[in-house]
């Protein structure tokens, strides 16, 4: 019998940091979009609105609507690209995950 406590890998923590709070928004589409943007940000990879249908499986118009909803809720920062609006780089605000937890408790 193994008496060592279960140890979590860094990858487990990284995925949990993105998925757990995102599931608490309450909108499946926004949850999926926020989770994928968070994962990309954790890997220091750029993600744009064009990328979201590929990684989420959502149609472009649904992914775009979710991005705007998350931006309105102050969970995302959109670094606009004036020549290509769908090429805007997406980032989760640093304090967004904490804000989600506070909203759920309230």
Q: Is residue 73 part of a domain?
A: yes
Q: Is residue 84 part of a domain?
A: yes
Q: Is residue 100 part of a domain?
A: yes
Looking at the structure of the chain, the number of domains it has is 1
Q: Is residue 99 part of a domain?
A: yes
Q: Is residue 6 part of a domain?
A: no
Number of H helices, E strands in the chain: 5, 2
CATH at residue 58: 1.10.10.10
pLDDT in tens, the chain (106 residues): 444 444 434 444 444 467 654 455 557 889 899 989 989 998 999 999 999 999 999 999 999 999 999 999 888 999 987 888 889 999 998 777 665 655 544 4
Q: Is residue 41 part of a domain?
A: yes
DSSP 38-105: HHHHHTT---BGGGHHHHH---HHHHHHHHHHHHHTTSEEEE--TT-GGG-EEEE-TTHHHHHHHHHH
Q: Is residue 5 part of a domain?
A: no
pTM for the model stands at 0.70
Domain that holds residue 76: 12-105
The predicted pLDDT at position 13 comes to 40
């Amino acid at each position: 019998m193994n008496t060592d406590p279960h140890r979590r890998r860094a990858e487990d923590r990284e995925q949990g940091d993105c998925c757990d709070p995102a599931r608490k928004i309450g909108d499946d589409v926004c949850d999926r979009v926020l989770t994928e943007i968070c994962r990309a940000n954790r890997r220091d990879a750029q993600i744009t609105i064009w990328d979201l249908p590929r990684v989420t499986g959502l149609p472009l118009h649904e992914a775009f609507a979710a991005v705007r909803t998350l931006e309105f809720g102050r969970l995302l920062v959109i670094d606009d690209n004036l020549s290509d609006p769908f090429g805007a780089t997406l980032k989760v605000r640093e304090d967004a995950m904490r804000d989600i937890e506070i909203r759920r408790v309230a």
